[in-house]
Structure formats: C-alpha cells, structure tokens
C-alpha cells in the first residue's frame, strides 16, 4: 500500500509536534511526504501535480495543526483548488474507493475536547467538513490520528507518539465510513 502524507504547517521551523511526527515518517519506503507550505511558498498550487499524487497513492493522510477548529489556510485552499468538478466529483470520481485520513495536533487535552469539556465539541465534530468532503467525493475516511499538546511534555512523549503515528499510517482498517454505499 502506498501512503501519501500531506503536511500543512504554516511554520514547521517553530513546530514541536508536527516536526517530530514528520521526522519519523520521512525516508520510509512506503510513505511519500509532501509539505504544502514548503512546496508552495507563494500559495500557488500545481493542481495537476497534486491530482497525480493522489491518483498514485492508495491512502492520503492530511497532517496539520488545529487552527481555529479548522485547517490552516493553505490546506483549505488545497481542497478548494485540487478537488475539481469533473475530476473529484460530478462526471468523474477520480478518488473513489481510496482512503483519506487526518492527523491533527491540537492544544489542550482529550478531556477538553468532549461535549462537557472546555471546547464543548469533539475533534470528530470539528472535522465534520472533512468527513462530508470524503462522502461527497466518495473516498473512504479513516479514524482520526490525534495529538494533544498538553500531553506532549517530554521528548519521550513525542517519540512514543511518533511510533504510534507510523503504526497508524500502516494499519489496515476494517471499518470505513462510506455514506454513499
Ligand atoms: C492561529 C492558531 C490557532 C489555533 N487554534 C487552535 C484551536 O482552535 N484549537 C486548539 O486546540 N489549538 C489551537 N491552536 C494550537 C495549535 O493547534 C497547537 O499549538 C499545535 O497543534 C501544536 O503543534 P506544533 O508543535 O506542530 O505547532 C492554534 C494555534 C494557532 C497558532
């Protein structure tokens, strides 16, 4: 299985979590790492190149920090530009049957992301646009890979999380959310 990881961190040089996760997955034979902010400093996305990358991989994981309960802006632009009508939906469903996932880092703790917690919403809830997109373009959606900043205190915590991330990227999931089937 070929896995593409699309990293969207606006300032990876200042990152602890996403930089650490990235280190664990680069140079793995079955994983392609693609960094949007590095590739497109002017935010001008090469749509055909991105579409080819998606077509060439079975699974795509979007890795990014939670910014105001959403994607960083270049990743939102990526969805706007790359998932073109006639390619991703309407007429053609080029990604039908492929799997999409999200590896999101957030501040706070898991307890803060509960109905009765600080944010009053779960991470799954705030990622509703992602799930709706997968449904619309007929990709399978994978469980989220979540990292909470307040739990990543030591280097050992980061190392352990990076190991779990590698396992997540290679895990086969028996359940996929396929609303259209
Ligand atoms: C502009 C901005 C908005 C943020 N919004 C949220 C948010 O809505 N929820 C949250 O839990 N953390 C939020 N954070 C915290 C980041 O998600 C967190 O610091 C980041 O995931 C840590 O990963 P890193 O070390 O790779 O940067 C925000 C940070 C910034 C800079």
Q: What is the pLDDT of residues 76-85, one digit of tens each?
A: 999 999 999 9
pLDDT computed for residue 19 by the predictor:
98
User: Which residues of the chain have a pLDDT value below 70?
Assistant: 175-181
What is the residue with the minimal CA distance to atom 4 of ligand 1?
67
Distance from the alpha carbon of residue 93 to the mean position of ligand 1, in angstroms: 33
| Ligand 1 and 17: CB distance under 6 A | yes
Percent helix, percent strand, percent coil in the chain, to nearest 5:
40, 20, 40
18 Cα nearest atom in ligand 1 = 26
Query: Residue 171 has which token pair?
Result: 């895990």
Look up the pTM and report it. Answer: 0.97
Distance CA 148, CA 160 (A): 13
pLDDT computed for residue 5 by the predictor:
98
Strand pairing report for 145-148 and 99-106: parallel
Distance CA 126, CA 108 (A): 15
Give domain 3-170's CATH superfamily: Flavodoxin domain (3.40.50.360)
Mutation pick for ligand 1 pocket among 37, 65, 76 (CB with most ligand atoms within 8 Å): 65
φ, ψ of residue 138 to 5 degrees: the values are: 65, 35
Mutation pick for ligand 1 pocket among 11, 113, 149 (CB with most ligand atoms within 8 Å): 149
| Ligand 1 and 105: CB distance under 6 A | yes
| Ligand 1 and 72: CB distance under 6 A | no
| Ligand 1 and 108: CB distance under 6 A | yes
């Amino acid at each position: 299985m070929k896995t593409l990881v699309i990293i969207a961190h606006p300032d990876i040089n200042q990152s602890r979590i996403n930089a650490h996760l990235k280190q664990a997955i680069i140079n793995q034979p079955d994983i392609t790492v693609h960094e949007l902010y590095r590739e497109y400093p002017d935010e001008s996305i090469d749509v055909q190149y991105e579409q080819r990358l998606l077509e060439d991989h079975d699974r795509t994981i979007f890795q990014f920090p939670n910014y105001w309960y959403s994607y960083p802006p270049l990743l939102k632009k990526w969805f706007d530009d790359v998932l073109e009508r006639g390619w991703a939906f309407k007429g053609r469903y080029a990604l039908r049957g492929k799997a999409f996932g999200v590896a999101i880092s957030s501040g706070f703790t898991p307890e803060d992301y509960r109905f009765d917690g600080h944010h009053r919403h779960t991470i799954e809830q705030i990622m509703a646009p992602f799930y709706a997109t997968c449904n619309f373009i007929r990709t399978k959606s994978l469980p989220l890979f979540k990292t909470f900043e307040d739990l990543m205190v030591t280097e050992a915590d980061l190392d352990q999380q990076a190991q779990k991330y590698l396992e997540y990227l290679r895990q086969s999931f028996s359940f996929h959310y396929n609303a259209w089937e």
